Amino acid sequence: MRPGNFSQTGFLGPDESLREVLDADARTLGELGVTAPALAVQLRGLLETAIATKQTVTSVGHYKVKVRRYKGPQICPFAPQPFENPCPGDGIWLASIDWDIRNTRRSVRLAGPGLMVHLIGAHAFFEGLQSPYRVAPRALVELLELGPFASRRAGRSD
């Protein structure tokens, strides 16, 4: 997962511990009351809707979703044999895109790789703190208006 193996920039920084990153992110999700699979499902839904339009930028409800497509997919670093036997799981087909999503209702914006859907859903991995492609769990929960951010939705009456 270090720089230069499956990715030039790496999924973890040179000094990061995978176990520590996974544990810290699990604690954050627990505090927010959201599961990694629930986040992956919500993110996948936005991306699938945007990709189906075949446009670069798509409005999906109160989200503006920008998708950049690439010819080849990013490899999951958890795969036992990445080139011969890719990691199975939901969302792996999104590994050939990057995304940028803006929640227009909350003025929150986040970007990341399409592989993130699989990494979050199958491995509860958001990449390391030193990775330029990290998608922080708290930021994603806020963007998608889940957990503690769900009750603060604009126009919602409780």
Q: What was the pLDDT predicted at 49?
A: 96
Residue 26, pLDDT > 90, answer yes
Q: How far apart are CA 63 and CA 47, in angstroms?
A: 11
Mean of per-residue pLDDT scores for the chain: 88
Q: What was the pLDDT predicted at 158?
A: 39
pTM: 0.88
C-alpha distances (whole Å) from 17 to each of 11, 12, 24 are: 11, 8, 11
Q: How confident is the model at residue 74 (pLDDT cuts 50, 70, 90)?
A: confident
Alpha-carbon torsion angle 96, 97, 98, 100, nearest 10: -160
Residue 82, pLDDT > 70, answer no
Q: How far apart are CA 97 and CA 50, in angstroms?
A: 11
Q: How confident is the model at residue 92 (pLDDT cuts 50, 70, 90)?
A: confident
The predicted-structure confidence for 41-52, as pLDDT tens digits, reads as follows 999 999 999 999
Q: What was the pLDDT predicted at 81?
A: 72
Q: Which two tokens stand for residue 21?
A: 């990153």
Residue 156, pLDDT > 50, answer no
Q: What was the pLDDT predicted at 9?
A: 72
Calculate Rg over the CA atoms of the chain. 16
The predicted-structure confidence for 95-146, as pLDDT tens digits, reads as follows 889 999 999 998 899 999 999 999 999 999 999 999 999 999 999 999 999 9
**pLDDT (average), residues 55-60:** 94
The interaxial angle of helices 36-52 and 115-123, nearest 10 deg, is 160
Q: How far apart are CA 93 and CA 72, in angstroms?
A: 10
Q: Which two tokens stand for residue 11?
A: 């999924």
Give the count of beta carbons closer than 10 Å to the beta carbon of residue 152: 11
